Amino acid sequence: MTIKAIDVCEAWGQGFLTGNSDPLAEMLHDDFIFVGPTTTRSREETLHWVSSTPEMRLSDTEILYENDEVFVGFHNVVRSEGRGTGRAMFFARLKDDKVAYWRVQLAPTSD
């Protein structure tokens, strides 16, 4: 079964919302790497971040392109407690039908 970009994005968003990163964990390759604007995280570091960051909200996901090897798109990011909002562009590479690499570039937006 081919993994779908929208399913991964929804699992990511639900993980932040509920603190449960298990559905996302099933979609990430053992060698997964997350590259963000300020840090790089391993699979375990990413899952811990998702399950322990309840102030993060993702919304308005737009998938621009996907195939069996990559997908790319945008989503909004909202952080509570005055920590900012932004529009994120993401790029993912797949390996063995799981996400092996996720890169995000964030453009801050005004409230």
Cβ contact 88:108 at 8 Å: no
Q: How large is the average pLDDT for residues 35-64?
A: 94
User: How confident is residue 65, by pLDDT bands cut at 50, 70 and 90?
Assistant: very high
Contacts of 32 (CB under 8 A, 6+ apart): 42, 43, 46, 98, 99, 100, 101, 102
pLDDT digits (tens, 9 = 90+) for 18-27: 999 999 999 9
CA–CA distance, 72 with 91 (Å, rounded to integer): 4
Beta strand ranges found along 1-111 (DSSP E): 28-35, 40-42, 56-66, 70-79, 84-95, 98-109
User: How confident is residue 109, by pLDDT bands cut at 50, 70 and 90?
Assistant: confident
pLDDT at 37: 87
Lowest mean pLDDT, pick from 17-31, 67-81, 90-104: 67-81
CA–CA distance, 93 with 34 (Å, rounded to integer): 11
Kindly list the structural domains of the chain, giving each domain's residue range(s) and its CATH number in brackets, ordered by start. 5-109 (3.10.450.50)
Q: Kindly state the DSSP code that residue 21 receives in the 8-state scheme.
A: -
Q: Is the pLDDT of residue 111 over 60?
A: no
Q: Which residue has the higher pLDDT, 7 or 110?
A: 7
pLDDT at 110: 65
